[in-house]
Amino acid sequence: MKVAVSGAMGRLGRAIANGISKADDMQLSGAYAPGHVGKSVAGIGVEDVIEKVDAKILVECAHPVVVMENLKKWHARGMRVVVGTSGFTEDRIAELKSFWGKDDPGCLIVPNFSIGAVLMMRFAEIASPYFDSAEIIERHEEKKPDAPSGTALATAMRMGKKRSSAKLEDNTEVVKGARGGLVSGVRVHSLRMKGMLS
């Protein structure tokens, strides 16, 4: 099966490209990363023109700033896409659904590729109705391009859908944002520091 990676020169994109290249049932057939032509990942030359990407399935790992434009282009080419890019809020998902219909080739948003993280998200969702309050603290290295992470965002959205309309405490913030951001009624705190492991 021919699979390509968009955002192939980023940390996640390189890891996925290397994994695909070692798989017995997949072939890494393209790597897309504008601004990186002439470089290679997992033995494949990097392209900056979408039309040169030869695959039926694409793993999208591009920066959150450009991912929606990329998805429109992949959709126009009739590709099946697995989105690993962070930052898919309910508004962004609604925007995606506005041009990617139910009868189109599949598009799967994956907030985290780790089975442990996916289970943690599910457990938080199941437990959420049983707690009067809940907050998420997530951490990453300082170069992570978004805050909160896609995993924290998706977890908060899932928890919020399961929670009754719990009243948030009326705390006074001496410094704006000190209590974290609010996602679906769940406060999310994002740490970004050198040497921090996610």
Q: What is the mean pLDDT of residues 109-135?
A: 93
pLDDT at 13 over 80: yes
In the chain, where the domains are located: 2-109, 115-192
Contact 127, 163 (CB under 8 A): no
Q: What is the mean pLDDT of residues 7-24?
A: 95
pLDDT at 171 over 80: no
Contact 50, 74 (CB under 8 A): yes
Name the band, by pLDDT with cuts 50, 70 and 90, for residue 174.
confident
Tell me which DSSP letter residue 10 carries: S
Q: What are phi and psi of 188, to 5 degrees?
A: -125, 130
pLDDT at 149 over 80: yes
Tell me which CATH code domain 2-109 carries: 3.40.50.720
Contact 78, 105 (CB under 8 A): yes
Per-residue pLDDT at 166 = 61
Q: Which of 161, 134, 138 is nearest to 151 (CA)?
A: 138
Fold of 115-192: Dihydrodipicolinate Reductase; domain 2 (3.30.360)
How much of the chain, in percent, has pLDDT values that exceed 70?
98
Cβ–Cβ contacts within 10 Å for residue 43, how many? 10
Least confident of 18-27, 102-111, 160-169: 160-169
Which sequence positions are flagged as catalytic? 140, 144
Torsion sign over Cα 11, 13, 18, 23? positive
Spatial distance between the Cα atoms of 182 and 171, rounded to a whole number of angstroms: 13
Q: Which residue has the higher pLDDT, 178 or 59?
A: 59
